[in-house]
Amino acid sequence: MSYFIKEPPYQHGDAPKIGIILANLGTPDSLRTQAVRKYLQQFLMDRRVVEVPRFIWCWILHFIILVFRPGSSAKKYSKVWTKKGSPLLVNARNQTNALSAKIKKTVSQPVEVELGMSYGNPSMKNAVLKLKEKNCTKILLLPLYPQYAASSSASAMDALWRVLLKTRNVPAVRTVRNYHDHPLYINALKLSILQFWKKNGRPSKLVMSFHGIPKKSLMQGDPYHCECYKTARLLAEALKLKESEYMVCFQSRFGRAEWLKPYYAEVMADLGKKKEKNVHVICPGFSSDCLETLEEINIEGRHIFLHHGGKSFSYIPALNDNPEWINAMQGIILENLQGWIDKSWTPKKEALNSALTKKRALLVEKKQS
């Protein structure tokens, strides 16, 4: 059995294409505890996610976490699960379809878009194989994490490299590292917030909650913390907010180690105790609504705030397949495709090149026979 993945059929003259992979974290295949356990095992065994010595972590993971956590996680997923499945997967697929339709209207050259998850399905391997089957000789990876973090952006890159390590005919590859301060991304966030405020009114406080990482990661050189605060500052400036009108916090703390502060749950409790009249929460680090935004932020956070005396709580949805976000994604992608896109490309020109390539291949075969 070969170490390398079987290559798709190829014929001389096949038109080369550009492939785009939208990379996201992943999700369980179903609400069954077994499916959640499988997903958590894959996710929590990634060294990018948990930097604990393996011989210690494997024992903790398999004999404690994977025994008790899958059941509780499945209950949380059940609160936000849709008829079409996981909200993250549904939103990510909608993004993929919308971007594909948009970019094919903009770029005359053949461009294919696929969704690839770091963990679970559809896998990164599946995305790469689909693009190779369509004869994509160039691939751009866009991790759907605006702010770079080793545990998110880099893990998506790792997932791609692991596939390419076993690929015989490796395509040209580019990756987008981050876009936390990109004008198109900031503008998409701004417009989504203004649209929400138009329907629901302005809040007394806008809370920007980002996914947390261990403080140790910051001390070791991870730029995530700084990029989150830059996003928040640029967004506040775009919305013309005073410093007293918004704040930044971090969610999804895991384990006993200190993570980036302030913690979302503590911020909600504190705002509730201060009888804050009208709080709006947005998660600028999430391109798609998922368990963390819909359950932890909108359900748990709302309960904490109201329980401690808060008056009114609203969650501003993630960008999902918002047209302004799809436009922004396309803009970021086109910037990173410079040099790969041939503006003079036409179907007729490609057909002539294909016919010439096939003719030359036949001549070579005749000479060899």
pLDDT tens digits, 319-355: 999 999 999 999 999 999 999 999 888 888 877 777 7
What's the structural domain count of the chain?
A: 2
Q: Which residues contact 226 (CB under 8 A, 6 or more apart)?
A: none
The answer on 299 and 230 residing in a single domain is: yes
The answer to whether position 367 is within a domain reads no
The answer on 192 and 280 residing in a single domain is: yes
pTM higher than 0.85 for the full model? Answer: yes
Q: Which residue has the tokens 């963390």?
A: 292
The answer on 340 and 288 residing in a single domain is: no
- The pLDDT confidence band at residue 2, using thresholds 50, 70 and 90, is confident
The answer to whether position 364 is within a domain reads no
The answer to whether position 352 is within a domain reads no
The answer to whether position 98 is within a domain reads yes
The answer to whether position 351 is within a domain reads no
CA distance 289 to 268: 20
- Give pLDDT tens digits for 207-258: 999 999 999 999 999 999 999 999 999 999 999 999 999 999 999 988 888 9
The answer to whether position 362 is within a domain reads no
| Alpha helix stretches (DSSP H) within the chain | 33-44, 54-60, 66-80, 87-106, 124-133, 153-164, 183-200, 215-219, 224-239, 264-273, 291, 302-307, 323-336, 347-368
The answer on 141 and 23 residing in a single domain is: yes
The answer to whether position 118 is within a domain reads yes
The answer on 241 and 170 residing in a single domain is: no
The answer on 291 and 243 residing in a single domain is: yes
The answer on 188 and 174 residing in a single domain is: no
The answer on 334 and 263 residing in a single domain is: no
CATH of the domain at 117: 3.40.50.1400
The answer on 267 and 175 residing in a single domain is: no
Domain that holds residue 25: 17-180+324-345
The answer on 30 and 147 residing in a single domain is: yes
